[in-house]
Chain A
Amino acid sequence: MDAYDEDSQARHGPDGSTGARRPQDPGDREGSPAREGSADPDGPHARDDSGDPDGPFTPEGSGGPDGSPPLPPAPRTGVAGLSPRYQVGAAVALAVVAVAACVHLGMVFLSLAPANTVTKQHGKAIEQWVYPEFEQNWKLFAPNPLQQNIAVQVRAEVRMKDGSMRTTGWNDLSARDGAAIDGSLLPSHTQQNELRRAWDFFAATHGADNRPVGMRGALSEQYVRRVVVMRLYREDAISREGVIQRVQVRSSTTNVQPPKWSSEKISDKPVYRLLPWWTVSADEAAGGVR
């Protein structure tokens, strides 16, 4: 990174494709050959008269061009340098930006706040504003952190090359993710998020009877199936040698044991949630990322 500090006061273009040219200052526009702002005795006056004694934000007085008749003490930039007609434009811009920023923050605030009088009345409007691009969830480990390890396990029925069918044992994919993360400074999203969040998505869009709720329920089912099939082909010896026909997924939920210094007692037996066998379509069995 360059620390070209002199640019801190350089008022340059919009940095964009067309904005590479540095805007000229008034002196240049009116024929002054060079910028002599800081040496110009008019500078300080211009600054004082700009009505902003705070200094730090006042642009360096660029002063009047040499030899030209004294200019009104207009700053290089800012509304004071504009005629009333243009000042209206600036005022409108200021108002629009201020209102937009406040409305936006208000909407985001309401989307994050617990359900309340206002969100009950205007929930639809808030949703339309915030979704999809400003969606956010900051209930990180709140109100309570997750206290269970949820492992996704899968087994498959595989048609072998000789035509026979074999059923694999349970593959604990989450345990493999956990092992892959161990000792890693940069865990990959494929290890840390993919299966974990696929299962969250599935659980959130399925009832206790494992029936999908809405369109997303159906999507989540396909997603989980595709993830586990990909993983089986990659990690399971039997699957690799044949074609997966059906898969069965279960989740195993185990409580994190309370700390040693706590007197709490919690069961350490895993609780299983067994899903029905799913038929794997030819497309899912063949394609995909390996």
Chain B
Amino acid sequence: MNRLSLTLSRGIARVTESALGPYQSAVIRIGFAATWLLFLLREFPHRQELYGPDGPWSWDLAQQLTSDNHAFTALMWSAGQGWFEGFYLLAILSSAALLLGWRTRTASVLFMVGVLSLQNRSVFVGDGGDNVLHLMSFYLVFTRCGQVWSLDARRAARVEAARARGERVRADRLGPVLWAVLGLALGGVTLAGRFDNGWLVPALLWTVWAVLGLWGAVQRRAKSQEPWILLDVIANVLHNGALFVIMAEACLIYATAGWYKIQGSRWQDGTAVYYPLHLDYFSPWPALADLMSSSGTIMMIVTYGTVMVQVAFPFTLFNRRVKNVLLVLMMTEHAVIAVVLGLPFFSLAMITADAVFLPTAFLLLLGGWAARARGQLVRRGDGDRTLPPPRSAEESRPGRVGFTA
């Protein structure tokens, strides 16, 4: 009994005093934001056809469907071209901001609004990749995903360094302005009665806005330290809860995909993988597909292997080594799917979802490489100006920031 309570109190301490998995949450932030950003850029020439007011799924059709299913989409606020074009641009910008970790929390909210609005506007052009992004954009709002590898983190470090040198740190100006502008926008939309279709997303938007305001006020004014610690604890708890939900969601995806496959006769007779490779809509490289499916034995192994990996994955989380082996297998399979079935954005989204389970040590290594590559690029671009060498992964202290899953 005593041990149980000790474990429990340790667990509570863990989930309240820090936002776990800073590198994992950063990598999924970057991954999902990049997927959506690349998708928006890829479809930029087709944006009118997919989401525009005069597209085949016209504004009127979308109006009828969304007033029936109450899905949130800001694109139904106006049928004007200007609003659509502006919104598409905003969606691109918010993805870029989230990718870079610029005002991460605000960017994540705008990112979610962009993803939900565009996808709910035209639900019949999406696929599994859109579905993953839809869910994850919502969950990301609750995470502190800008703790590392973000402009926010860099800014915080600079402020910290300046303070350590005893310099006066200028108060942040842009933050309150951004907050006020978004508050005005929310107020305007609410007063105009545009939030009348479903309560979930509007309630979330207002809540986040209010909490950000409270956060700023507490930091600035509170005489006591405690309100701020409480807010910090709540933010940590929310982050850890959301990260747990994200991981569980990834497990649900694989479990559903796997367990339903077991029931299929084609997955049982070992030919299932052959068929998608020969569908006109999923075979950009027919010769490659033919080559891959030339051996019945290989097809059977891939078919059985796919089912086994998908069904087994959630259970392997209890063993680090097996989990990492499966992660490699699944990421490889998705990379192959990206090319062979012509589903690059779906695959990128799935690989990103997998990445939440990567070990911290590996992510640090990755971060080190990225920083070094960036350093070299910057140096080459800057000619002979000397720059401090990029920080390598070794300088950091792996293990300190846990989640060595």
Chains A and B belong together in one complex: yes
Does A162 lie at the interface of the complex (its beta carbon under 8 Å from any beta carbon of B)? no
When the two chains form their complex, are residues A13 and B219 in contact, meaning their CB atoms are under 8 A apart? yes
**Of listed A19, A29, A100, A262, residue having the most chain B CB within 10 A:** A19
Does B16 lie at the interface of the complex (its beta carbon under 8 Å from any beta carbon of A)? yes
When the two chains form their complex, are residues B232 and A105 in contact, meaning their CB atoms are under 8 A apart? no
Chain A residue numbers with a CB within 8 Å of B374 are 1-2
How many Å lie between the Cα of A186 and that of B341 in the bound state?
Answer: 11
Does A174 lie at the interface of the complex (its beta carbon under 8 Å from any beta carbon of B)? yes
When the two chains form their complex, are residues B175 and A19 in contact, meaning their CB atoms are under 8 A apart? yes
How many Å lie between the Cα of A108 and that of B135 in the bound state?
Answer: 11
**Of listed A35, A141, A146, residue having the most chain B CB within 10 A:** A141
Nearest CB in chain B: distance from A175 CB, A: 7
Nearest CB in chain B: distance from A79 CB, A: 5
Does B305 lie at the interface of the complex (its beta carbon under 8 Å from any beta carbon of A)? no
Q: A6-B396, A11-B232, A20-B172 given as contacts; is B284 within 8 A of A181 (CB)?
A: yes
Contact of B13 (CB < 8 Å), options: A51, A145, A226: A51
Does A209 lie at the interface of the complex (its beta carbon under 8 Å from any beta carbon of B)? no
**Quick one: which of B141-164 are within 8 Å of A by CB?**
144, 146-157, 159-160, 163-164
When the two chains form their complex, are residues B230 and A12 in contact, meaning their CB atoms are under 8 A apart? no
How many Å lie between the Cα of A5 and that of B367 in the bound state?
Answer: 9
Chain A residue numbers with a CB within 8 Å of B9 are 51
Least CB separation from A96: chain B residue: B237
Secondary structure call for the A interface: loop
When the two chains form their complex, are residues A12 and B152 in contact, meaning their CB atoms are under 8 A apart? yes
When the two chains form their complex, are residues B156 and A12 in contact, meaning their CB atoms are under 8 A apart? yes
When the two chains form their complex, are residues B368 and A3 in contact, meaning their CB atoms are under 8 A apart? yes
How many Å lie between the Cα of A16 and that of B141 in the bound state?
Answer: 11
When the two chains form their complex, are residues B157 and A6 in contact, meaning their CB atoms are under 8 A apart? yes
Chain B residue numbers with a CB within 8 Å of A90 are 16, 230, 233-234, 237
Does B359 lie at the interface of the complex (its beta carbon under 8 Å from any beta carbon of A)? no
Does A194 lie at the interface of the complex (its beta carbon under 8 Å from any beta carbon of B)? yes
Q: A79-B16, A142-B261, A188-B43 given as contacts; is B153 within 8 A of A219 (CB)?
A: no
A–B Cβ pairs within 8 angstroms, 16 of them? A2-B151, A3-B368, A7-B154, A13-B156, A15-B103, A17-B105, A18-B216, A20-B174, A56-B399, A90-B237, A94-B12, A105-B248, A105-B249, A140-B128, A192-B281, A261-B295
A contact set with B: CB distance below 8 Å = 1-23, 26, 28-29, 33-35, 50-52, 54-59, 75, 77-83, 86, 89-90, 93-94, 97-98, 100-101, 104-105, 108-109, 112, 131-147, 149, 151, 174-175, 177-178, 181-190, 192-194, 196-198, 201, 215-216, 219, 222-223, 226-227, 230, 256-262, 287-289
